[in-house]
Chain A
Amino acid sequence: MKQIKHHLNHSLLMGYSAGTLPEAFNLVVATHISVCDDCRARMHEFDAIGGEIVAASDVVQLTDGCLAATLALIAASTPDAPKAAAMGGIFAQPLRDYVGGDLDAVKWKRVGGGVSQAVLKTNDAATVRLLRIPGGVAVPDHGHRGLELTLVLQGAFSDSTDRFSAGDVEIADEAMVHKPVAEAGMDCICLAATDAPLRFSGILPRLAQSIFRM
């Protein structure tokens, strides 16, 4: 297991457990938990809280025949078979499901400065993309109107706050303006989700905004 230093926070885990996060964030959370035992254990805690809240709910009346209708549903169905997870590669299963494969299946689009991205399809306002940043290259300075989650899948980057390597997740809020720089060496591959457009503050910010379509 990789040494993970930067984890999900409580509010993201609770939102994931309650099922109230946008799909784009769910994907980042699920991909991180796939490789992080610590956050997996914390997710189970939040699920347990959810279970106890339901257990403590007031009981509402069911209509007559509700049990019979459920037994009829069961009779009409077949048992679920456990899914076999594909092994190997750098993408955990939830990400692989969105990409349709591992790293070699990603359809990259160049966005300038040697950086490539692939926007993954989600059905709500928040967006999630894969980013490929060649070693030593910087992503333009940007601030956030909302929340940005960046999960490192390969390589590493650093910004004014710290160094982030494979498995680490950076949580950047509205107050943060940062300029991530990929570490020299292999490409840095990240999965990044935002719930609002980014604000670029470096050179040619408008151009950067348009090429990133953020």
Chain B
Amino acid sequence: MTTEDTAKRMEWVAQLDAIRDHQDQVAFAALFRHFAPRIKAFLMKSGASPSFSEECAQEVMATVWRKAHMFDGTKASVSTWIFTIARNRKIDMIRKTRRPEPEDLPWGPDAAPHAADVITLAQDTEELGRALATLPEKQRNLIERAYFGDLSHSEIAEATGLPLGTIKSRIRLALDRLRHAMT
């Protein structure tokens, strides 16, 4: 099943590839037009001023350029990957705390991404987005607030009781496969 949304998501993957392989500024501009305003909105909802949010959004997008070679579409979709960069920037700049990252899995240089896996993960992520969009207003609002940073730990516990996750099995399968490929 390839929807218009999947096509858009695969275009983002192609744009990241073009940035990595050819320092393609046209591809970057397209990615920027889509993501930069949303990152700015996310940071504003997390409590930052408009001008500060825009400054952070620029830094996030510059990081997207610099780290394009580290993107792996079998492990994260483009929207997920850019979120993690924005989230890290937000922790540095707004919360001024540290968030140590887990150790990278030793995938090895041979774990080349399979195009079919990239599409499947994009589709699963899309499905997750649809699942979120169709949640009752109150529930969706709870999850959003968890990510904007204005929920207490017990409120988060409430938000995580919600039925989500079509993506779970896909990511776990991908991890299993890569683990086997290594050994």
Which residues of A are at the interface with B, using a C-beta cutoff of 8 A?
1, 9-11, 13-23, 26-27, 30-31, 33-34, 37-38, 40-45, 47-63, 66-67, 69-71, 73-74, 77-80, 82-83, 85, 92-94, 97-98, 122-124, 147
Contact = CB atoms under 8 A, between A and B. Distances in A.
A203 B88 CA distance: 44
A48 B147 CA distance: 11
A169 B168 CA distance: 21
Contact of A55 (B69, B79, B97, B167): B79
Contacts of B147: 17-18, 49-50, 53-54
Interface in B90-105: 90-91, 95-105
Nearest to B98: A23
B143 to A, nearest CB: 7
B162 to A, nearest CB: 9
> Most A CB atoms within 10 A — which of B28, B87, B88, B125?
B87
B103 A94 contact: yes
A95 to B, nearest CB: 8
Interface string B124-152: 01001100110000000001101101010
A116 to B, nearest CB: 23
Contact of B80 (A44, A71, A79, A82): A44
B76 interface: yes
B82 A51 contact: yes
Given A11-B160, A19-B91, A52 B125 contact: yes
- Bin the interface of chain B by size: 35 or more
Interface of B: 25, 28-29, 32-33, 36-42, 44-45, 50, 54, 57-59, 61-62, 65-67, 69-70, 75-77, 79-84, 86-88, 90-91, 95-106, 125, 128-129, 132-133, 143-144, 146-147, 149, 151, 153, 156-157, 159-161, 164-165, 167-168, 171-172, 175-176, 179
A60 B149 contact: no
Contacts of B149: 18-20
A45 B100 contact: no
Contact of B79 (A23, A51, A94): A51
Contacts of A37: 172, 175-176, 179
Nearest to A78: B66
B143 A74 contact: no
27 contacts: A11-B153, A13-B160, A26-B100, A30-B101, A31-B100, A37-B176, A47-B76, A49-B143, A49-B164, A51-B76, A51-B81, A52-B132, A54-B38, A54-B39, A54-B42, A57-B42, A61-B37, A62-B36, A62-B54, A67-B32, A70-B58, A70-B61, A74-B65, A77-B62, A93-B102, A94-B102, A147-B153
A30 B100 contact: yes
Given A19-B149, A41-B168, A48-B77, A53 B100 contact: no
Contacts of A20: 95, 146, 149, 151, 156
